[in-house]
Amino acid sequence: MLIAQARRIYFAYLSSTPAGQEPLGVVVDPREPDGRVVFETPVLLPDEEFIAIDLIRGRTSRGRTRWKG
């Protein structure tokens, strides 16, 4: 659920922002529908979670995607 929320926030960011700096990930609050894309290591509030960009994109630690054809 958190990864799906982070993906929604990240892809909304991509569709509304010109190409630029690569984000580190997304900070989400499970109780809120919104979140923020971050470019530096975030300081989190107690209820916030950081989702790394590799999890959002679906990459494994080997750099391969999780999608199967």
- Answer whether residue 67 is part of any domain: no
The confidence score (pLDDT) of residue 65 equals 42
- Look at the block and give the residue holding tokens 């960009």: 53
- Answer whether residue 64 is part of any domain: no
Range(s) of the domain holding residue 42: 2-57
The confidence score (pLDDT) of residue 2 equals 92
The confidence score (pLDDT) of residue 64 equals 46
- Answer whether residue 28 is part of any domain: yes
- Answer whether residue 8 is part of any domain: yes
Please write the tens of the pLDDT for every residue from 2-59.
Answer: 999 999 999 999 999 887 789 999 999 999 989 999 999 999 999 999 999 999 988 6
- Answer whether residue 36 is part of any domain: yes
Total of domains in the chain: 1
- Answer whether residue 68 is part of any domain: no
Whether residue 60 is predicted with pLDDT greater than 60 in this model: the reply is: no
- Answer whether residue 22 is part of any domain: yes
Whether residue 68 is predicted with pLDDT greater than 80 in this model: the reply is: no
Q: How far apart are CA 9 and CA 3, in angstroms?
A: 10
Q: How far is CA 23 from the centre of its chain?
A: 8
